[in-house]
Amino acid sequence: MNALHTLDTEIDAVLGVWKGHSANAYRVGWDETKQGAVEVLEALSTIAELLGITTAWFVEQDDTNSQSYPSLNL
């Protein structure tokens, strides 16, 4: 998100001095692109969180299951 914020700040600076129809069209396109990027980053964050929770659950289950088996005494 930091990189997106940095890019947005830089684009705002450019659009602060760039005026006209082309600048307005660019702003509309950038706003759509930025919103899409935010949605993708939020989805990736949710996926990462869910994977972390799932991983923790599997580790816990694995630890619990391993307690129920006697040592192989190899």
Q: How many domains does the chain have?
A: 1
User: pTM to 2 decimals?
Assistant: 0.68
The CATH number linked to 14 is: 1.10.287.1060
CB 8 within 8 A of CB 34: yes
Q: Is residue 57, in this structure, part of any structural domain at all?
A: yes
Q: Is residue 69, in this structure, part of any structural domain at all?
A: no
Angle at 47 between CA 42 and CA 52, to 5 degrees: 125
pLDDT digits (tens, 9 = 90+) for 23-69: 999 999 999 999 999 999 999 999 998 888 888 888 888 888 888 77
What is the rounded CA–CA span in Å between residue 61 and residue 49?
18
